[in-house]
Chain A
């Protein structure tokens, strides 16, 4: 027989995995760059596979503003800080001088889910290789301007330095679509022995806002004219909304609109708690097919009983299976009574 999957809080915690489901817009503006990529680079590292253009990862503006982009969501893993370190290291710019933009469907690469400890290896790798290649492009541009071989140029503090000491700020070197090029197969990465930003214990950039009440979560967004909605949840899967008199709910304070579409029922109000109160009133007013409720409740109880029995008596599954069958056939009995 198939062993049931028993999940409780402790076991989920012990597993330690966070599954964060993100969404992607197939036609999102910044994410359609894969389309013109007619000539794929053979096996580019990390998420450069899906988004091979360097400016999907690193942007340098004429005013010298440097931005690194990731399609992953920072939710306490600390990679926003880590990516800032990676980009700063490979670009040779001060850590504090660049910003990291995370998971913005209109601006960042579509990297799918943020899950499975893939952010560093996929997105971090893409940023590292892209930054190294951007740095090489900047060096090449400075060398081109002086008509000298690039080998003798070096970079420091967001500038390319020529053999004679002449400095070119990154912002002055970038023109037009210079960084809108595909990643090359080979990157000249820094030797880890000369790292001075990566490998350093830099405090996480997101913590100060989180311990002082700064805007740190999606819940902290307050858009102009924003209203709040609550959906009336049915008590069971498959429930049918049979009737609903919404007129009294529509008159409640703050209620903007009651929305009904087939079995879907929701309410919109100006303030959040007004929406919650209206949702409760709406829930009480909604007629829901009772047969479905009854069936679902007994189904859920059967499932609970099965899970409880199996979790407590793992040693003798064959015996347990017979007991469970008895319980399911005869129904639940009070504690101590055998079926």
Chain B
């Protein structure tokens, strides 16, 4: 048994310590957002945020996560109250099949938490490890730029900036 903190809630997890975080999120905690893509840390669709950093959950074993804060896309906002990055992706219609999108959004979110005003070049470099077979790249970039503006507005008006930490 191990306690895992996901989206601000503690979960008692009964799984082998070598179990990758992805399976714990999907199988034990029943969260949908983090996706199995390649299982080898090569596509980015499983990306979540751990203590502020974008982490590939399919290759990160449970034993490394003791005492750490895990955030998944579910922890940012909901359909009814979307976080700025979620609103931005909806407004830009930045998904075709959408399978890679949760991972893209989590890495973009981690980037924006560290650097609220990244350049286009920095965004492209940051999202480079993520694969999107549909070819939604240009919309994804537009959505990240829109998220920057939305977060900026939210900060300026001190409105609720989603539930992101």
A contacts, CB < 8 Å to B:
13, 75-78, 203-204, 206-217, 219-220, 222, 253, 271-274, 277
Q: Does B134 contact A (CB under 8 A)?
A: yes
A212–B93 touching, CB < 8 Å: no
Question: Total contacts A to B, CB within 8 angstroms?
Answer: 82
For residues 72 through 124 of chain B, which have their beta carbon under 8 Å from a beta carbon of chain A? 72-74, 77-79, 82, 86, 89-90, 93, 95-99, 101-102, 105
How close is B70's CB to chain A, nearest CB, in angstroms? 13
The listed residue (A206, A253, A274) touching B98 by CB distance below 8 A is A206
B27–A272 touching, CB < 8 Å: yes
- Interface majority SS (helix, strand, loop, mixed), chain B: loop
A207–B73 touching, CB < 8 Å: no
How close is A270's CB to chain B, nearest CB, in angstroms? 9
Q: A76-B98, A273-B27 are in contact. Are A215 and B32 (CB under 8 A)?
A: yes
B134–A216 touching, CB < 8 Å: no
The listed residue (B26, B30, B82) touching A272 by CB distance below 8 A is B26
How distant is the Cα of A215 from the Cα of B79 in the complex, in angstroms? 12
Residue of A nearest to B99 (CB): A217
The listed residue (B26, B77, B93, B102) touching A207 by CB distance below 8 A is B93
Of residues A207, A212, A216, which shows the largest number of chain B Cβ atoms within 10 Å of its Cβ? A212
B contacts, CB < 8 Å to A:
15-16, 19-20, 23, 26-28, 30-33, 35-36, 72-74, 77-79, 82, 86, 89-90, 93, 95-99, 101-102, 105, 133-135
The listed residue (A77, A203, A213) touching B74 by CB distance below 8 A is A213
A13–B82 touching, CB < 8 Å: no
Residues of A within 8 A of B15 (CB): 271, 273
Residues of A within 8 A of B82 (CB): 208, 211-212
B97–A75 touching, CB < 8 Å: yes
B19–A273 touching, CB < 8 Å: yes
Q: A75-B97, A272-B26 are in contact. Are A214 and B79 (CB under 8 A)?
A: yes
How distant is the Cα of A138 from the Cα of B36 in the complex, in angstroms? 47
Residues of A within 8 A of B101 (CB): 210-211
How distant is the Cα of A155 from the Cα of B145 in the complex, in angstroms? 44
Residues of B within 8 A of A75 (CB): 97
